[in-house]
Amino acid sequence: MDMVLVLVLLPIIAALLLGLFPYQRLQYIISGATLALLSIVAFSLYTSLSDFTFHLPHNLNILIIVADVVLLLFFLYQGRKFNNIKVMVLAVAQLLLYGYIESIAPVAGRAEIVVDELSKFMFLIINGVGGVIVLYAVKYMEGESASPFKKRLFVGALLVFLSVMNLIVCANSILLFFFLFEMTTLASYLLIAFRGDEISRENALKALWMNQIGGVVILVGALIAIIGFDTVMFDTLLESSGGVLMLSVALLSMAALVKGASLPFEGWLLGAMVAPTPVSAMLHSATMVKIAPYLILKLSPVLAATMVGGIISLIGALVFVAASYLALSRSVFKEILGYSTVALLGLMMALAAIGTQESIAIAMVLMLFHALSKALLFLSAGVLEKQYHCKNIEEMKGMVNRAPKTVGFILFGFVSLTLPPFGLFMGKLFAITSVASLLNEHPAYLIVLLALIIGSALLVLLYFKVASALLSSASDVVQSETMPISAGFNIPLVVLSFFIVAGAVGYIMMQQNIFVILLAFPMLFVFALPSIIHSMERYDRTLPYQCGEKGSFDSALVYYEPSIKIQRAMYWGFGILFVAVALVGAMS
């Protein structure tokens, strides 16, 4: 329990320290130390065996209620200020619902905080990855055009956010969960709007109203739970059965779909890409959006083998394909990453909702490695953006000559997302195996299986399309200048890569499967390549074949744009499916 307190409070303390001492060096030290401490704590927590629970002090509960109301009023104010009806309506709806629920909420019977296996696992992700991102953010913000205070505020906010995340993954009370959920919404709202220009503002508002839908459905879910089972605790809810249970759970999972930016809500996540890169990394791929699969995982004991669970895995699987496909039409690097995040979150939710032991384990593995790889990719994207001022993949052609290290990291990120022996690959591989084994139970899993297969293929297409842009370089003998990239950028990347490799190794060890180990063998070629390159001096260098002509060749990548009609059909379809979750929940 002390350790959990550390996880929650340390980031806040660190944030305060940062606010107090405006020294660059100190910022590094603080964030570095925080990272180290948090990771160690999270890891030791993870290895500790027992679950434990505790109550929040009563005063704190009151404080939370007050804070919640203030928060919602703030949303209302923002909606008023920027004249956004949707935000206002949703904020008012939440206020009313929240007020009503608090008035009828049963006195907590069980502990508000429950730290179980899942929470510990989430601590690992949040603190490991989040810490690195904070470290990176310090360097990143140096180049930002904002007042020094605002910069510190930014880093501080990221730290505070870490503690929010740490708390949310062990919240047992739905109301507490709701509060923290709204806090994360707030965080994305503020951080997306950080740059303060028109687009940021617009996208922030979009994120706000979409996420508030999540808030509303959570509240409705809680209301139903109170009415049906007289509880606001997850664990009690999950233990009960019959009645309106499925509806309540369905509503809660809908919140997950929103947070996970499943179609048709992917808009807010993509809009979020205007935020500074650490924000994208932290909120929109590595940690915050992981709430979505986390929530489904939490609910999975109930969801497993039900219609609701089925429909959620269907949505997840289809999102996996659709988002991968949509990503193919994009050319902004961060947007591509965003879409692929949406896709993979869909996959994770699908697997979590299937709810067999195996698929849950796979979903968790996917979560961990996705967080690591995506953070790596986002941070590298940030480097390219900061140092080379290119956001669009068309501008990144031949980047390998100009920024070999960063491109190396990006490629490594892609490799870790797609190829053996890395976690994501393994995850997908096992996912196919496990879904295939489920086929005998219900043929409908065939859809999930198909989506899985096709989606993976599309993602491969996507990543290597981008990789291609980075790699396309002219002949060896044509020199191009590189730019030194400061250690502040590189160290976080190295740390992440280390985590990925270590994770892969650890995972392989865990599997204790000889084949898996052998699978790692081909990777040797890739790592051996650079060393051989130096011995290639005796071969003649020549120019590419251009039909006998001279002159440089310029090409864009390939874009697969679905027609407007298909897109619209897609959105409608997903919208209907989204509503169907609630309907199915109500019916069963």
Partner 1 sequence: MIWVWIALAPILGGLVYGGERVLRARMQRRQGPPLLQPFYDMFKLLDKRTLIIHAPHALLALAHFAVLWFSIAAIFLGWNLLYIIFLHLFAQILLILAGYSVRSPYSHIGSNRELLMVVAYEPILILVAVGFYLVSGSFEIAEIVKGENYLLQIPLLFAALLIIVPIKVKKSPFDVGEAHQEIVGGIEVEYSGVFYEFLYMSRFLEYIFIYSFVYLFGGESHWLGAVLVFGVFLLVNLVDNATARVRPAHMLKIIYTVAVSLAVVNLLGILL
Partner 2 sequence: MKFFTPFRKKSPWVLHYNAGSCNGCDIEILAALGPKFDLERFGVINTGNPKQSDIFLVTGPVTYRSRERLVELYSQIPEPKVVVAVGSCTATGGVFRGMYNVEDGIDRYIPVDVYVPGCASSPQLIIDALVKGLEVLEAKSKEIEKPYKLFGAIETIANKLSRLNMATKVGQNEKD
Partner 3 sequence: MKKTIQIPLGSQHISLLEPIRFKFECENEKIIGVDADVGFVHRGVELACTRSFEFKQVGYVVARVCGLCAITHSLSYTLAVEKLLGYVANDRIKYLRMLMVELDRIHSHMLCLAHTAENAGFEALFMQIMGDRELIMDVQEAISGNRVQFDYISIGGVNRDLTPELVALTHKNLGLLSEKIDALIGLFDNNWSLSLKYKGVGVLSLEEAYTYNALGPLARAAGLATDVRAETSDFPYEALGYTMILESTGDIHARNFVRLREIVNSIAMCRNIIENLPIGEIQEKAKGKPNGEAVVRVEAPRGELFYLVRGSGQNMLDRVRIKTPTFSAIPAMMEVFKGAEYADAPAILASFDPCMSCTAK
Residues that bind partner 2 in the complex, under the rule CB under 8 A: 475-479, 536-543, 545, 548-550
Instruction: Give the C-alpha separation, 431 to 447, whole Å.
Output: 13
Which C-beta is closer to partner 1: that of 205 or that of 458? 458
Instruction: Return the one option of partner 3, partner 1, partner 2, none that residue 453 interacts with (CB less than 5 to 8 A, by type).
Output: partner 1
CB atoms under 10 Å from CB of 524, counted, come to 9
Instruction: Give the C-alpha separation, 583 to 588, whole Å.
Output: 9
Residue 53 sits in the site that holds partner 1 (CB under 8 A)? no
Instruction: Return the one option of partner 1, partner 2, partner 3, none that residue 498 interacts with (CB less than 5 to 8 A, by type).
Output: none
- Which amino acid does the sequence have at 120? K
Instruction: Return the one option of partner 1, partner 2, partner 3, none that residue 559 interacts with (CB less than 5 to 8 A, by type).
Output: partner 3
Q: Are 371 and 132 in contact (CB under 8 A)?
A: no
Query: According to CB under 8 A, which residues from 534 to 553 bind partner 3?
Result: 546-549, 553
b (16+ CB within 10 A) / e for 384-417 = bbbbbebbebeebbebbbbbebbbbbbbbbbbbb
Which C-beta is closer to partner 3: that of 242 or that of 544? 544
How many residues are given for the chain? 588
Instruction: Return the one option of partner 3, partner 1, partner 2, none that residue 550 interacts with (CB less than 5 to 8 A, by type).
Output: partner 2
- 293 burial level (CB within 10 Å; 0-12, 13-18, 19+): buried
Count residues binding partner 1 (CB under 8 A). 58
Which stretch, 76-84, 183-191, 461-469, 573-581, contacts partner 1 (CB under 8 A)? 461-469
Instruction: Give the C-alpha separation, 283 to 274, whole Å.
Output: 12
Residue of 40, 457, 510, 556 interacting with partner 3 (CB under 8 A): 556
Instruction: Return the one option of partner 2, partner 1, partner 3, none that residue 392 interacts with (CB less than 5 to 8 A, by type).
Output: partner 3
Sign, Cα dihedral of 501, 504, 507, 509: negative
Query: According to CB under 8 A, which residues from 496 to 515 bind partner 1?
Result: 515
Which stretch, 112-120, 285-293, 298-306, 555-563, contacts partner 3 (CB under 8 A)? 555-563
Which C-beta is closer to partner 3: that of 104 or that of 556? 556
Instruction: Give the C-alpha separation, 335 to 234, whole Å.
Output: 35
Instruction: Return the one option of partner 3, partner 2, partner 1, none that residue 432 interacts with (CB less than 5 to 8 A, by type).
Output: partner 1
Which C-beta is closer to partner 3: that of 116 or that of 395? 395
Residue among 328, 185, 331, 333 nearest 265 (CA): 185
Residue of 53, 61, 236, 331 interacting with partner 3 (CB under 8 A): 331
> What tokens were used for 181?
């959920």
> What tokens were used for 500?
């990925």
Q: How far is the CB of 540 from partner 2 (least distance, A)?
A: 4
Q: How far is the CB of 82 from partner 3 (least distance, A)?
A: 30
Instruction: Give the C-alpha separation, 133 to 493, whole Å.
Output: 9
Sign, Cα dihedral of 497, 19, 6, 352: negative
> Could you write out the three-class secondary structure of 395-444?
HHCCHHHHCHHHHHHHHHHHHHHHCCCCHHHHHHHHHHHHHHHHCCCCCC
Which C-beta is closer to partner 3: that of 514 or that of 558? 558
Query: 232 vs 106, 157, 222, 228, 235, CA distance in Å?
Result: 7, 29, 6, 10, 9
Residue 521 sits in the site that holds partner 1 (CB under 8 A)? yes
Which residues here bind partner 1, judged by CB under 8 A?
398, 400, 418-420, 425, 429, 432-433, 436-437, 439-440, 443, 446, 449-450, 453-454, 456-458, 460-461, 464-465, 467-469, 471-476, 515, 518-519, 521-522, 525-526, 529, 532-533, 536, 539-546, 552-553, 555, 558
